[in-house]
């Protein structure tokens, strides 16, 4: 199978980094056309570094990356024509209007004149920015700017779309619009790599790579990652809080727990046994259980597990 995005052992050490330090190390990617790949990780994980290398904005220290077969180091101009890249930082010309920005990017990408007008109209409708054509981009809301940046990245109908945190700090309506645009682009067979610090956005992706401190800890579909979790998830809503925490700490088989809103989420080894023990000790301590049940793993659970177990490895 020909891959749209391929990377092998991608490693980057910035010049200013100390000997032995790295921004990313050993990153592998295989993304076919029409697939949405989510690079998920906290600040500093190496998302931007990875994407900038794929976008031919920067060379790797070692390893290689290919876009539709073009090596980003040996044939960057071949790769570049096929890439739509939306950087994390503001990438538009603030004093140009919406339509002027689109025309500017069409010039940059040498979009043929006869296709240009139609393409810009398509994108304006697609992003619902048609009403704001004459507004300067500096006067757009954060969400609208991101949509315009996405439209600019799509102007030349790229085969590969690289989106660096497109939804960070974006209002819910624009966020939904952005995901709808991505869904449409995927249907046209574009391979999309999106980075996000939001674990819940991973659920939208066909394949996810969990990046932490420059290394991909695991990859797979969100469902596969959930199934690979070596324990079950439970949640409890009970009072008083103090009593509940004491009971949880005294119960065997609870691997980790954390408060989430009004409940406590627990990773447990043997749900039946934990349930019995918790009920018993809470009753004894005068606690009041409203809810105690099993629940499906979410991406946060996967992330916490992976980070904790990679920490164990380091200590060993």
Q: How would you classify the pairing of strands 5-12 and 83-86?
A: unpaired
Please state at what angle helix 113-126 crosses helix 142-153, rounded to 10 degrees.
150
Sheet of 70-71: strands edge to edge? Answer: 24-31, 5-12, 62-67, 70-71
Number of residues that bind Mg ion (CB under 5 A): 3
| Residue 299, both tokens | 């991406």
Under the binding rule (CB under 6 A), the answer on residue 287 touching ligand ADP is: no
**Binding site partner of 43, from Mg ion, ligand ADP, none, Cβ cut-off 5-8 A by kind:** ligand ADP
Part of the chain binding Mg ion (CB under 5 A), chosen from 88-96, 224-232, 254-262, 275-283 = 88-96
What residue spans of 91-171 are helical by DSSP H? 98-108, 113-126, 142-153
What is the per-residue binding string for ligand ADP in 46-85, x denoting contact by CB under 6 A?
A: xxxx------------------------------------
Under the binding rule (CB under 6 A), the answer on residue 44 touching ligand ADP is: yes
> How many whole angstroms separate alpha carbon 73 and alpha carbon 303?
32
What is the per-residue binding string for Mg ion in 10-49, x denoting contact by CB under 5 A?
A: -------------------------------------xx-
Sheet of 263-268: strands edge to edge? Answer: 254-260, 263-268, 232-239, 288-295
Under the binding rule (CB under 6 A), the answer on residue 43 touching ligand ADP is: yes
Q: How far is CA 153 from the centre of its chain?
A: 18
Instruction: State which of positions 3-22 bind ligand ADP (CB under 6 A).
Output: 14, 16-17
> How many whole angstroms separate alpha carbon 294 and alpha carbon 273?
12
Under the binding rule (CB under 5 A), the answer on residue 174 touching Mg ion is: no
Residue closer to Mg ion by CB (options 60, 297) is 60
> Which chain residues interact with ligand ADP by CB under 6 A?
14, 16-17, 23, 41, 43-49
> Which chain residues interact with Mg ion by CB under 5 A?
47-48, 88
């Amino acid at each position: 199978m020909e891959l749209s995005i391929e990377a092998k052992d991608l490693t980057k050490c910035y010049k200013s980094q100390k000997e032995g330090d790295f921004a990313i190390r050993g990153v592998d990617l295989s993304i076919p056309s029409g697939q949405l790949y989510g690079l998920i990780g906290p600040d500093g994980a190496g998302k931007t570094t990875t994407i900038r290398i794929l976008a031919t904005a920067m060379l790797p220290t070692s390893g290689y990356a290919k876009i539709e077969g073009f090596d980003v180091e040996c044939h960057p101009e071949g790769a570049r024509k096929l890439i739509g890249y939306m950087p994390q930082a503001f990438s538009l010309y603030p004093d140009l209007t919406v339509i002027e920005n689109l025309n500017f990017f069409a010039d940059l990408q040498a979009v043929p004149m006869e296709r240009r007008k139609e393409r810009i109209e398509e994108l304006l409708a697609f992003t619902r920015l048609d009403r704001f054509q004459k507004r300067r981009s500096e006067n757009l809301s954060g969400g609208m700017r991101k949509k315009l940046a996405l439209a600019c990245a799509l102007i030349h109908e790229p085969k590969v779309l690289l989106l660096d945190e497109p939804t960070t700090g974006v209002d819910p309506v624009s966020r939904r619009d952005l995901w709808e645009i991505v869904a449409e682009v995927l249907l046209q067979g574009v391979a999309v790599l999106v980075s996000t610090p939001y674990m819940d956005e991973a659920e939208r992706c066909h394949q996810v790579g969990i990046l932490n401190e420059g290394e991909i800890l695991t990859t797979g579909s969100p469902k596969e990652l959930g199934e690979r979790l070596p324990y079950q998830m439970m949640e409890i809503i009970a009072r008083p809080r103090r009593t509940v925490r004491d009971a949880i700490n005294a119960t065997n088989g609870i691997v980790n727990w954390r408060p989430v809103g009004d409940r406590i989420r627990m990773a447990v080894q043997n749900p039946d046994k934990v349930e019995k023990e918790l009920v018993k000790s809470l009753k004894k301590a005068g606690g009041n259980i409203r809810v105690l049940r099993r629940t499906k793993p979410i991406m946060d659970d996967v992330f916490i597990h992976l980070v904790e177990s990679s920490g164990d490895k380091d200590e060993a």
